Amino acid sequence: MTSSMKIWSRLVKFTSAIADTTNKRIVQQGAVSKDTYLVPPHIRKPDYSHKSMLLTRLSSSIELKNKEQIKQLKDACVIAKNILAKAKLMVEPGVTTEHINGVVHSEIIKCGAFPSPLSYKGFPKSCCTSVNNVVCHGIPDDRPLLNGDIINIDITVFVNACHGDTSDTFAVGKIDKRAHKLILSTQHCLKLGIQACVPGNNFSKIGCAIEKFANSRGFSVCKEFVGHGIGSYFHGPPNVLHTTNSSNLLMKPGMAFTIEPILMEGSNQIKRLSDGWTIVSKDNLRSAQAEHTVLITDTGVEILT
């Protein structure tokens, strides 16, 4: 065999190995149970009849929260933060996302809160679980988590007439170096986005900081899904872009919103599956997301989750 043939043979084997690894990380959807998750009648439920999806253009009117609204928001965010911490403890090989959802639902109910995703525009579960190539809005099902997977768990709760929202991406067992880099880079992008939050700053500084760092680490940023205003409403103004933009909207004390960048291993092209909710990467490569609810104060920003 000639030298060039040997090199070609090694290249083919290397490419095949990458393909095999990638294929193992493509999530095949499991069965979604028809179980009904009950909410006790004493727990207040949100009215979603007039709420819009994240991809819908939102009103330009931004709520500046008063002291009472800020207290309600903080209370909701503390619960969301604590529930996410409990969900993280369940992440291990063999556990199904349906099981995680069931525990999340029960823990939220114990806190006297309502799981905001449940029945929102028909969403059937109490949290979103997005594994590997699932970009966001994954529906919990009976697929067991595998060693080497990564999973984003998105928690939102509604209590005292207010929503609190947070998420993060976790390793399942032992993950590869690229997945580890993806998760850490996403978390750092969130940190940079929050650091850009100062009264009087343009919202554009958030997206510019996030995309610049993501690209420097070799990742792309999902453009279609954005951070959002939050409070008595699940999703409201302002839209918080995670990519470079020229928005001249200024941050003001009393504004509360989420920052939730999604970093992607390959291109940032996505597609929606037939269930109407699950968003996956077109190239089947992995993504990671991290999210906090933040409040603009007189002097800076406060992380509420």
Measure Cα distances from 140 to 32, 34, 125, 145, 264 in Å. Answer: 7, 11, 7, 11, 21
Cα R_g (the chain), whole angstroms: 20
pLDDT of residue 24: 54
| Residue 35: predicted pLDDT | 76
- Please tell me whether 154 is known to bind a ligand: yes
pLDDT value for 118? 95
Report mean pLDDT in 10-residue bins for the chain, 305 residues: 46 40 68 83 78 44 95 98 98 98 98 96 96 98 97 97 97 98 98 98 98 98 97 95 96 98 98 96 98 97 98
Tokens of 254: 């009393």
- 201: three-class secondary structure by DSSP: coil
Q: Considering the domain boundaries, does residue 1 fall inside one?
A: no
What phi and psi, each to the nearest 5 degrees, are found at residue 88?
A: -60, -35
Range of the domain at 228: 65-303
Is 291 among the annotated ligand-binding positions? Answer: yes
Contact 143, 130 (CB under 8 A): no
Number of domains in the chain: 1
pLDDT of residue 52: 43
Listed in sequence order, the residues at least 6 apart from 14 whose beta carbon sits closer than 8 Å to its beta carbon are none
Whether residue 12 is contained in a domain is answered as no
CB 241, CB 202: distance < 8 Å: no
pLDDT of residue 293: 98
Strand pairing category for 162-171 and 287-289: unpaired
Does residue 40 sit within a domain?
no
Whether residue 275 is annotated as binding a ligand: the answer is no
CA distance 224 to 173: 30
Looking at the domain assignment, is residue 230 inside a domain?
yes
Instruction: Report if residue 183 sits inside a domain.
Output: yes
| 298 assigned ligand-binding residue | no
Identify whether the C-beta of residue 199 lies closer than 8 Å to the C-beta of residue 251: yes
- With respect to residue 215, please indicate whether it lies within any of the assigned structural domains: yes
Nearest-angstrom CA–CA distance, 80 and 65: 19
So what's the pLDDT on residue 249?
A: 95
Contacts of 23 (CB under 8 A, 6+ apart): none
- Flag whether 235 is marked binding: yes
Burial (CB < 10 A; 0-12, 13-18, 19+), residue 79, is buried
Q: What is the pLDDT of residue 58?
A: 44
Q: Is residue 183 within a helix (H) or strand (E), and if so which, with residue range?
A: helix 177-195
Query: At 72, which CATH number?
Result: 3.90.230.10
